[in-house]
Amino acid sequence: MFNSLLLGPILFPLLFVGLMWFLESTERERAEKTLELPVVGAHYAPSLIRFLEQQGALIQPEPEDPEQMVRNQEVPVVLRILPEYPEQWEQGLPAPVEVLSDPSRQESNASIRRVKGLLFGYGQQIGSLRLQLRGIAPQLASPIMIKDVDLSTPKSRAILAMIFLPYVLMITAFTGATHLAMDTTAGEKERKSLEPLLINPVPRWQIMSGKMITTMVFAMASLALTLIAFRIVLPFLPVGAFGMDLTLGLNTLLMILLVISPVAILAAALLTLLASFAKSYREAQSYMGLVILIPMIPSLIFMANPIKAEAWMMMIPLFSQNILIGEIIRGESVMLSWYAMSIASTLIIGLVLAMMAATLYNRPKLIFSGS
Amino acid sequence: MIVVKDLRKSFGDVKAVNGVSFEARDGQITGLLGPNGAGKTTTLRMLYSLLPPDDGEIRIDGLDPTRDAMEIKRTLGVVPDSRGLYSRLTARENISYYGQLHGMSKQAIRARIENLTETLDMDDFIDRRTEGFSQGQRVKVAIARAMVHEPQTVLMDEPSNGLDVMSTRALRDYVRGLKHEGHSVVLSTHIMQEVAALCDRIIIIAKGEVAADGTAEDLLQRSGCDSLEDAFVKLIGTEEGLLAGHCSIPCYSARSFSHCSSSA
């Protein structure tokens, strides 16, 4: 029982830190690695090749089947200089080169960017020289100068990484309660202790409520532990490399806990309701495997398609918490009415589910579905 | 005092209980005897208000389980077929929990557990976790938690199931003790020796109906058999024989018996 309570809070933050370390180190490795570049038709453009070599690229001999090489993932990029290159070059026309790559493979993106950057740099250099030879100031060919002014604060950049946190918290609200929800309903049936329990002079809805409240307390404890665990591991994150400010103050933690608590209630009610249908602990477990997908849906939508938060979204449980926690971490101020709407809508749905569960316990069939 | 009149309960097309009537008096042990699936457990479940009857009437000391469920539960001590204990709790904690559910005070629970520990001879294991208890120990704890609130009427569903000889003897002694204290005890069983050894009144149930009702001697006399076992087989067997189209036992049919007992 305590294993299931502690597993999430220990596992998720470690997973998070591990993931960040991995991302950071592979990104750095790619940037520092020498660029190995097979070139087809290198003899058509000796000066370009010289330039590439000067820039640190390791020119590889001409491959037999460059397309196949890229497809087989032997190399991320192959450069092909076409036969008409020298002729076009002589005439001062754009000389064609091809960059063969498969951008759908994430890991080759860094190499593609570097090759294109080098080619662009070479083009710029030659272009300027040509203009100068004709007595024209090269600046004339650059009518606009683009300057990036980054207005994201280190805190708001943190959201990129911390989008993970609402996701983990949603799952924890459900997983933290799962074991208890199953043990108090399906488990009690399996142990054959439900029938004797119901013979006591206590209304069934009270027994049901007791089970749900216990489940909720566990879900909340699991959430609180997860937040504390995140607070502890965050200083160990390689955040500098990402230019992010990842700190969770006590106030932030409490706000997040307040926002997510109704989800724990919703989860406890839903899990208890579903587990009540199950004949055995094992059957209940198979339901739970599917239920765990529910908290993932809003997070996945939000990850795939980050949308601007609007008031009506606060009416949707799980979704609203995702948005609110995001805003809290970004350090944005959120309207109090949004908090109220999110908490109220989630609580109402939780209560409806709890009442359904309570009515279910009034059905005599419930007791016998186990035997 | 339990009075049951024409009790009926169906599950879908299956008529589990189909017109059962009997009385169980205070200071008597009443045995519901019948083969597996005869409707004993369903009858008991209706008595302790776990199941609502489809039809018929139940009065336990004047109370109706369908209307006064909470009140009935306070006056009943039930050892159901399911005897699940909480394995992480000790025997004492299991019993004490039920006492709390009955709204008893801590002192009252403590005193009562002392008393039950002595009567049921539970000294050796009262403070042990129930995980790994023997069947005999489990039944004792199940009985103790059912009796914690000193109920007047006691219902036991197959109490001797899975018990060894010594445990069975202890159980019988305990049930006899309850009878002498003036409790009304109803127990269901499919074991002949049990009713013969214990019961003042035997109600034979087969296929959801009362096949016969009376004392052990009544039944022997009426069936003309030497042993209760023969009488039982005759009553149940005849009914089944009739349904199957054979008429192997000539003199008495189950129908005439139930007619006999209800007119007597």
Counted residue by residue, chain B has a size of 264
Domain ranges of chain A: 31-141, 155-368
What residues of chain B score a pLDDT lower than 70? 237-264
Interface residue A183 vs chain B (CB under 8 A):
no
* pLDDT tens digits, B95-131: 999 999 999 999 999 999 999 999 999 999 999 999 9
Given a cut of 60, is residue A156 above it in pLDDT? no
Among B82, B109, B158, the residue to mutate for chain A (most A Cβ within 10 A)? B82
Please list every residue in chain B whose beta carbon sits closer than 8 Å to the beta carbon of residue A214.
Answer: none
Give 3-state DSSP helix, strand, coil % of chain B, rounded to 5: 40, 25, 35
* pLDDT tens digits, A64-83: 888 888 888 888 899 999 99
Among the partner residues A196, A200, A201, nearest to B83 by beta-carbon distance: A196
Amino acid A244: pLDDT: 57
Q: Which CATH class is domain A31-141?
A: alpha beta
Interface residue B140 vs chain A (CB under 8 A):
no
Answer yes or no: do A201 and B70 touch at CB < 8 A: yes
Q: What is the 3-state secondary structure (H, E, C) of chain A?
A: CHHHHHHHHHHHHHHHHHHHHHHHHHHHHHHHCCCEEEEECHHHCHHHHHHHHHCCCEEECCCCCHHHHHHCCCCCEEEEECCCHHHHHHHCCCCCEEEEECCCCHHHHHHHHHHHHHHHHHHHHHHHHHHHHCCCCHHHHCCCCCCCCCCCCHHHHHHHHHCHHHHHHHHHHHHHHHHHHHHHHHHHHHCCCHHHHHCCCCCHHHHHHHHHHHHHHHHHHHHHHHHHHHHHHHHHCCHHHHCCCCCCCHHHHHHHHHHHHHHHHHHHHHHHHHHHHCCCHHHHHHHHHHHCCCCHHHHHHHHHCCCCCCHHHHHCCCHHHHHHHHHHHHCCCCCHHHHHHHHHHHHHHHHHHHHHHHHHHHCCHHHHCCC
Answer yes or no: do A201 and B81 touch at CB < 8 A: no
* Separation in Å, CA of B51 to nearest CA in chain A: 6
Task: Round to whole Å and give the CA distance between A109 and A118.
Answer: 14
* pLDDT tens digits, A189-217: 888 898 899 999 998 888 988 999 999 99
Burial B159-197 (b: 16+ CB within 10 A, else e): bbeebeeebbebbbebbeebbeeebbbbbbbbebebbbb
Interface residue B59 vs chain A (CB under 8 A):
no
**Which range among A237-246, A320-329, B62-71 shows the weakest confidence by mean pLDDT?**
A237-246
* Separation in Å, CA of B47 to nearest CA in chain A: 11
Residue of B nearest to A188 (CA): B84
Answer yes or no: do A199 and B84 touch at CB < 8 A: no
* Separation in Å, CA of B69 to nearest CA in chain A: 8
Among A185, A199, A204, the residue to mutate for chain B (most B Cβ within 10 A)? A199
Find, among A98, A100, A115, the residue nearest to A34 by Cα.
A115
Q: What is the 3-state secondary structure (H, E, C) of B126-178?
A: CCCECCCCCHHHHHHHHHHHHHCCCCCEEEEECCCCCCCHHHHHHHHHHHHHH
Interface residue A192 vs chain B (CB under 8 A):
yes
Answer yes or no: do A200 and B146 touch at CB < 8 A: no
Which residue did the predictor score with more confidence, A303 or A140? A140
* Separation in Å, CA of A3 to nearest CA in chain B: 16
Given a cut of 90, is residue A348 above it in pLDDT? yes
Please list every residue in chain B whose beta carbon sits closer than 8 Å to the beta carbon of residue A200.
Answer: 73, 98, 101-102
Residue of A nearest to B151 (CA): A200
Answer yes or no: do A201 and B73 touch at CB < 8 A: yes
ipTM of the complex: 0.84
Which whole-number Å values give the CA distances from B26 to B5, B48, B178, in the listed order? 18, 17, 10
Domain B2-263: homologous superfamily in CATH: P-loop containing nucleotide triphosphate hydrolases (3.40.50.300)
Counted residue by residue, chain A has a size of 371
| CA torsion angle A174 A180 A186 A191 (round to 10) | 160
Residue of A nearest to B102 (CA): A201
Task: Round to whole Å and give the CA distance between A66 and A88.
Answer: 23
Three-state DSSP class for residue B109: helix
Three-state DSSP class for residue B247: coil
Interface residue A280 vs chain B (CB under 8 A):
no
Given a cut of 50, is residue A147 above it in pLDDT? yes
Structure tokens of A310?
């609007």
* pLDDT tens digits, A267-316: 999 998 888 888 788 888 888 888 888 888 877 777 777 677 788 888 88
